[in-house]
Structure 1
C-alpha cells in the first residue's frame, strides 16, 4: 500500500516539475516574443501622423470666409492650447493608466476578453488612448480580431517612437465629436463657439463624454442622455483624484450654452473666389495638391467680406430668374488686390467661374484702349471726326458698314469727348484705321490684357474675346495713374506648424503717361454727364443718378454680351452679363443689368469710404471747351464742359459768333476739321 502511495507522490512531483519547466519555457518564449515584438515595432520606425485637417481661408480683415476639408472638419492645436480640464476628463474616462502603459492595458484587456467570451461577442472594448489614436489614424472601426491585432502593432509603434504628450495631443486632435467636428478645437467651436483652451469644467466634461458614441451622446440630439454621460465623466475624474466631489457636483449643475455652429456646411462668402484661390495655390504658387488635400493651411486672401456680400446681393437683386448669367470682379487699382468676385448667379447650380475662365466680346468697353492709343498719337479730347453712316472697304475683305446704336448719327463732326460719351462706332473705326490696327491691341496688352487680340478692323468695336478679370486689371491702369498691376488674390499661406509657405506684396509697374491717363479718365467720366447730351444721350444716363462720387467707365454691348467696366480711385469693377450658350440678348430687357449691378455695387461697396476725385497731374490743364466743336466756350457760345489737355495742346480758338440778321455767319474753324477731311480722303484714296 505504501508503495502505491509513493508512486503516486512521485508521479505528482514529476507532473509539477514538468508543469514548472513548461511554465519556465513559456515565460522565456513569451519574454522572447515580447522582446521580438518590441524590437520589430521599434525597427519599423515611427508611423506617419498625416491627418487630414481643415484649411481655413481668411478675408482681408483676417475674418474666416471659408474652409476646405475632406469631410473631416479639423483644426489642429498643440497640447498647451487645450484646457487642462479637457485633458483630465479625457484621461479619466478613457484611460486612467495612460502614462503608465506601453500602449495597451493587460488588466483591461483580460477583463474584456473574459466578458466577450462569456457573451460570445466583441461588445466589450478595452482600448487605451493610444489604441484609439492608432485606430483613428490607420484602421477601420470594425470589431474583429485582425483589426485588434493591427491596432496593437500600431499602438506599440506609436509608444516606441513618440512621447506620451505627443500621442495625447494627436488623440485629442483626431477623435470624432459628432456633427462633422474632428478634434477638440473643432468640437469646442461647434458646440460652444470658443477655443479648446477656454472651456469650463462643465463644458470640458460634456465634450469628453461624446467620443464613446458621437451620435448617441451628442447633447444636441439627446440632452438628458448627454447629461448622464457627463455625470459619469465627472465621477471618473473624482475617482482619478483630479476633482473633488463638490467640484463635480457644481460642474454637473452648471447651465450650458450651446452655440451650435454649422461646421458641416461650406461658407457661402465668395465660393467662386475661394475656388479661384485653390486653383492659384496649385498652379501659380506651387502648393502640392496633396498638401492642400491634407489641409491645415491658413490662407490669407485679399477678399473684402463686406464688398463680397454687396456684390452677391446686387447680383441676386438685379439678375432675372432665367438662364441669363453674370460675372463680376472688383479690384483695388492701388494694389491689384481682388476685393470681390462673382463667377455666376449660383455656385451650387453652376461652379463654372465666368469671372476667371470665360472669354467674351467686350464690345465698346474696349474703346478706351483705342482712344488712349489715339492720345499717344496726337489726338486730343477736341479732335473731331464725322459721325455719319459709313461703309469701309477693308483690304482683303468685304465692304463693312458698322452702325451706331439705334442707327443714331450726328451727321456732323463730333469731338473725341462726345465719341466716348455717346460710344460712337464710326468715330472709333475711323480712329482705329487711321492709327493702324495694331495700336489698340498693343495698348491693351501693355496694361494687362493677356488674351490674343489680333489686329482686325473690328477690334475697334471689341470683336475679340477677353476675360472679366482681365478687363478689371487693364482698367486699373487708368484708375491709378498709369501703373500696370498684378492681380493679387493671396497675401500669405501658413502651414499647420506656423511656417510661412508663400507671401506676396503688391506689384505695380508704370507703363502709361500719367497725364494721358488722367485725360482718358476725364473722357470716361463723360458717360455719366447728362450735360453732354446732344443728338443722342450719354451711355450712362440710366445709372448716373446712382453714383454720388467721381467715377469713370465705359459700357459695351454686342448681340450676346453686355458689359460695364468702371472705376473710382479706390475701386475698379468689371461686370459682364450674357448667356453661356450662343443666345442673343434681348437689348430691351437685358441690356441694363450690367450697368445697374456696377452702379449699385460701386456706390454701396464704397459707402464707408471718402468720395475722392482723381488727382490732376502736373502738365495737365483744364479749359472750358464746347463739346460739340472742340473750341473754347465764350459768352457767345456758352455751352461748355471743363475738359483736360496736356499743356500746350488745349484749344486756343474761340467759338464763332452767332449770326446776325443779314450778316454772314463766321465759319467754324476750318483747321479744326482738316484732319477729318484728310482721313476721309485717305479712306477713299486707299480703298478704306
Structure 2
C-alpha cells in the first residue's frame, strides 16, 4: 500500500514537473516570439531602394538618353501592367499569395515530402514575398544565415506593405535575362511594347523566364520557353483566370521576339545630355548614385526636330575634312528653354562643350548690347557720329586705333542704324567711350553674361570672351521684349513613384525697357536690308536671299572666331565656328560658315510654324516713321531710299530730309 502511494506521488511530481516545464517552455517561446516581433517592429519597413534606369526625355516625350548600372529596369505600377501578366505570375509562382502572410506552410511541407521522396530538390516553396525579399536584399547562396535573413525580410515586407505593393515590387525586380530587370524592361526588350499592352500569350512567355533566364529565354531556347509558357497557361486555366478558348488562342499565337533594348546613349544630342546631367547635380541637387540608379524620369527642353536640323545643317555646311569646330545653341526666347545644342563636331573625339564651356571673343556680336545701352542714354537709331580713321589717346601715353573691315569708312557722319548694319567699328568705339567703359560691362551683366568683361576701349569690338549660351541668352532678352531669361535644360524631374521632385519655375521679371528692346531688335534687322548699304555693304547680304521672313541678327568675327546670332520672337540661335587652339581663320569660305549654318537652321526650324509666333510686334510706346538711312532724317518723296524705323515716342526725328531737293529721287 505504501509502495503504491509512493508511486502515485512520484507520478504526480513528474506530471507537475512536466506541466511546469511545458509552461516555462511555452512562456519562453511566447517571449521569444514577442521579442522577435518587437525586433521586427523596431526594424520597421525595409527600404525598397533598388537600382533603376534613369530616363531622359525630349520635349515631345521621346527618350533621348538613359543611365543605368547594366541592369535596365523601368518601374511601373500594377495598373501599368497587363492583368494577364499579374495572373500568370500568381498562377505559376504563388497561388495563395493573397491568403498567406509571407509563407505557404502547405507548400513548404509538400516540397519537403517531394524532395525527400526523390532524394533531391525537385520542388520549391518560396512565395512571391520571399522571392521579392531575395531579389531586394540577399544573395543566392544556400546558407542557413541567408535563409534566416530571407525569413526576416519576408516578415518585414508582409508587416509593412500591402499585397499589391509587394506584387508590384516583385514584378519590377525579377530578372528576365539579357540585362532586362522588371516586367517593363522585359516587355520592351522581348516584344518592343509596354507591359500594359502584353497579350496573354506574351505575358505567359515572359513570366516563365525568371525561373532560369539562361534556360527559358525564347532567344536562347525557344522550345523550352514554349513548354514553360504552356505550363503557365495550364495553371491559369486551372485557376479560372482564363477560359479554355483563351488558353487555346494563346497557345497558337505566333510571337514576334524583337530582342532589342529601346534606349541607348543620346547619339543625337550627347552634348545636351551632358549638360542635363550636370544640371541635375548642381541645380536640382541630386547625387551621382540617385542620378545613375534612381529610376528618375527627366523631362528636358530638347526639341528633337530642331536638334536633328542643327546637326544636319552643320554636316552639310562644314566639310568633313575641315578642322573647324562648332558651338551652337537655340532657345525659346519666351521661356529660356534650350531646344537644340551642339558642343562640337564629334562627341567621341572631343566631349568638350564649345556651346557652354568655351569662352571666345564675340567680335561685333557684342554691339547690340552696346547700342541698347546707348538707347538708354538718349541715343536713337538716327543718332549721327562721324566714321573715319581715328586714333584715340588713352590715359598716359597709350593710343588705340580701331579699324573697319577692309578699311572702309564713311569719312562723314553715319546713323547708328547704318553703323550697326555695316558693323562700323569706329562708331562703336566712339559710342563706348562716350558712355563710359563701365556702362557696357554693366549692360552685359544685365543681359545675363557672367563671363568677365574688361572695361577697355576695345570691349566695344568684343575683345572680352563670352560663351555661346551667354550670347544666346542676351539676344533672347531682346527677342522677348526685355524679360529676364536664363538657359534652361530641365523642365521637370519625377521619381520612380511618379512624384515630382523638381519643376522649373517660370518667373517674369522685366529687366530691359520693352520699347528699347524692340527698337534694338528692329535695328538688328538692318544687317539684311540693302537699303542700309552705303560706304560698306550690310553684313548679312550674303545670306539675305535665303530668308523667307524678317529676322533680327548680328554677325561678328575676330582673326580666329566667326559668330552669327539672331532671332525672331519665337526662336533664337547663336553659332560660333573657329579652331580650338585659336588658329587664324584664313579661308574666305570658312569665314561665312556661321552665317550659313544659322540661316539654314532658322529657316528649316520655323518652316510650317504659325506666322504669328515669329512676327515682331511693336509695343505701345514706340512709333514708326520713314527715315532716309543716309542721314537719319524724315524721308520725303524726293529721297531715293527710305526705311521704316522705330523710335520711342517723342524721340523720333522732326527734321525732314532736304539733301535731295536738287537731285530728286533716282
* Shorter-chain TM-score above 0.5: yes
2:83 — aligned with what? 84
RMSD: 3.4
Shift of 1:619: 4.1
> How far did 1:326 drift?
1.7
For residues 451-600 of structure 1, the aligned pairs below 5 Å read 451-600=451-600
What is the deviation of 1:339?
Answer: 2.2
Tell me the distance in 1 between the aligned counterparts of 2:243 and 2:623: 84
Secondary structure class of the residue paired with 1:182: coil
In the alignment, the residues of structure 1 paired with residue 442 and residue 42 of structure 2 have an alpha-carbon distance, to the nearest angstrom, of 65
Q: Take 1:593 and 1:549, find their aligned partners in 2: how far apart are those partners? A: 21
CA distance in 1: counterparts of 2:467 and 2:387, whole angstroms: 30
Matched position secondary structure for 2:45: coil
Shift of 1:549: 1.1
Instruction: Give the TM-score of the pair, scaled to structure 2.
Output: 0.86
Partner-residue secondary structure (3-state), 1:510? coil
TM-score by length of 1: 0.83
1:60 has 2:48 as partner: no
Match of 2:657 in 1: 654
Deviating beyond 6 angstroms after TM superposition, the runs of 4 or more aligned structure 1 residues are 27-34, 122-125
Tell me whether 286-295 or 613-622 shows the greater mean CA deviation.
286-295
Match of 2:632 in 1: 630
Q: CA deviation at 1:111?
A: 6.2
Structure 1 residues 526 and 43, CA gap change in structure 2 (3 angstroms): closer
Return closer, same or farther for 1:523/1:102 CA change in 2, 3 Å cut-off: closer
Q: How many equivalent pairs are there?
A: 636
Q: Structure 2 CA distance, aligned partners of 1:358 and 1:124? A: 64
Report deviation, 1:138.
2.0
SS of equivalent residue, structure 1 residue 56: strand
Matched, 1:292 2:291: yes
- Give the drift of 1:542: 1.8
Secondary structure in 1 aligned to 2:209? Answer: coil
Report what 2:3 is aligned to: none
Matched, 1:281 2:283: no
Asked if the contact 2:493–2:502 (Cα under 8 Å) also holds between the matched residues in 1, the reply is: yes
Counterparts of 2:224 and 2:311, CA distance in 1? 43
Residue 383, structure 1, aligned to residue 386, structure 2: no
- DSSP 3-state at the match of 1:566: strand
Q: Could you tell me which residue of structure 1 aligns to residue 4 of structure 2?
A: none
Decide whether the 8 Å contact of 1:272 with 1:347 is kept in 2. Answer: yes
Per the alignment, do residues 96 and 622 of structure 1 end up closer, same or farther by CA in structure 2, a change over 3 Å counting? Answer: closer
CA contact (8 A) 1:336 1:507 kept: no
* Counterpart residue number, 2:226: 227
Counterpart of 2:367?
A: 367
Structure 2 regions of 5+ residues with no counterpart?
Answer: 1-21
Secondary structure in structure 2 of the residue aligned to 1:546: coil
What is the deviation of 1:174? 0.6
SS of residue paired to 2:645: strand
Contact 2:383 2:632 (C-alpha < 8 Å) held by counterparts: yes
User: 1:370: how far off?
Assistant: 0.7
The 5 A counterparts of 1:426-441 are 426-441=426-441
| Matched position secondary structure for 1:509 | coil
Alignment partners' CA distance in 1, 2:662 and 2:117: 117
- Deviation, structure 1 residue 288: 5.0
Q: 1:151 to 1:185 in 2, by over 3 A?
A: same
CA contact (8 A) 1:73 1:264 kept: no
TM-superposed CA distance for 1:114, in Å, is 5.2
Structure 1 gaps of 5+ residues are 1-23, 666-688
Q: Would you say the 8 A contact 2:628–2:657 is kept in 1? A: no
SS of residue matched to 2:577 = strand
Which residue of 1 is the match for residue 112 of structure 2? 110
SS at match of 1:417: helix
Question: CA deviation digits over 1:476-512, x for unaligned, max 9?
Answer: 2211222222433333333333333233342222222
